[in-house]
Amino acid sequence: MIFLKLGGSLITDKRRRETPRMDVIRRLAQEIAAARQTRPDLRLLVGHGSGSFGHFAGREYGTRRGIRPGEEARGWYGFAATGAAAARLNRLVTDALVEAGLPAVSFPPSATARCRAGQLQELAWEPLARALDAGLLPVIHGDVAFDDQWGCTIVSTEELFAYLTPLLRPTRILLAGTVDGVFTADPLVHPQAALLAEIHASQLDALEAELGSSHGVDVTGGMWSKVRIMAELVRRHPGLEVHIFSGERPGALQACLLSPAECAGTRLLL
């Protein structure tokens, strides 16, 4: 059982509003299809980020922080606009997977997610389990959600993975982005930054300031948020492997799906 995230920076140009990288999306879909053909027993849940779709709308309306007093009409419109943008990207990804011959089925988190103060509390997971048992390829994504305290918020794919891990029990979580893993600084800004081949949970506090935020527009916390959430999962679920790697190189995703030994990038450890 593998959870795979296709990062928003990988499948969109995060610096340009609603700009999908369709050639990359189609290639990644073909690599997933090839891996499933090689390993028909591969149980796989695909998630993807919102990239320049949901993140631009979410930043414009402040949807992550909820509904502000006196701005209810604008806030709820932003909730709808952000959700619609995320859904447009999800349709492109799901269609590409189906066109590659995969039985992909979209499960929008906004339909069932419930949060409290920005923290995911509830999500209907049984349909995902049934889809996996049927040999389908369930697809989830970063999305808007109702929030008991704030009115609404945004849940990231990593937060969805964290909620689903104790329920669906993946053995591996793969995060495919545009860079080769986690670096001491943003390698897109600082070419001298060094790749961290391994990160231990005990290192997180020291690394927080170095990791910073991601390249482009991101309203869900950037690289540090991803590392923190995944490292906590590794701590709570012994035996779980997490790899953060680049999906830019053709064949890298397929190799990583088929063999942990072939997965480069950064590995998160206890």
Does the pLDDT at position 180 exceed 60?
Answer: yes
Q: What is the mean pLDDT of residues 164-192?
A: 88
Is 261 contained in some domain? yes
* Lowest-confidence region among 48-52, 108-112, 194-198, 203-207: 203-207
Q: Which domain holds residue 143?
A: 11-269
Longest dimension (CA), the chain: 56
Please tell me the number of Cα atoms within 13 Å of 153 on its side-chain side. Answer: 18
Return the amino acid letter for 202: S
User: Would you state the pLDDT for residue 191?
Assistant: 82
Is 4 contained in some domain? no
User: Would you state the pLDDT for residue 36?
Assistant: 97
Cα distance between residue 240 and residue 113, in whole Å: 25
**What is the tens place of the pLDDT at every residue in 49-76?**
999 998 889 999 999 999 999 999 999 9
Number of domains in the chain: 1
Is 264 contained in some domain? yes
Cα distance between residue 122 and residue 117, in whole Å: 13
Cα distance between residue 172 and residue 44, in whole Å: 10
**What is the tens place of the pLDDT at every residue in 118-170?**
999 999 999 999 999 999 999 999 999 999 999 999 999 999 999 999 999 99
Please say whether the beta carbons of 15 and 217 come within 8 A.
yes
Please say whether the beta carbons of 131 and 55 come within 8 A.
no
Cα distance between residue 19 and residue 79, in whole Å: 20
Cα distance between residue 54 and residue 49, in whole Å: 8
Is 6 contained in some domain? no
Please say whether the beta carbons of 156 and 121 come within 8 A.
no
* Lowest-confidence region among 10-19, 167-176, 214-223: 214-223
Is 2 contained in some domain? no
pTM of the model: 0.90
User: Would you state the pLDDT for residue 219?
Assistant: 47
Closest CA to 42 of 34, 52, 50: 34
Is 265 contained in some domain? yes
Is 83 contained in some domain? yes
Does the pLDDT at position 13 exceed 60?
Answer: yes
Cα distance between residue 177 and residue 266, in whole Å: 12
Cα distance between residue 172 and residue 192, in whole Å: 30
Is 1 contained in some domain? no
Query: What CATH number is attached to the domain comprising 73?
Result: 3.40.1160.10
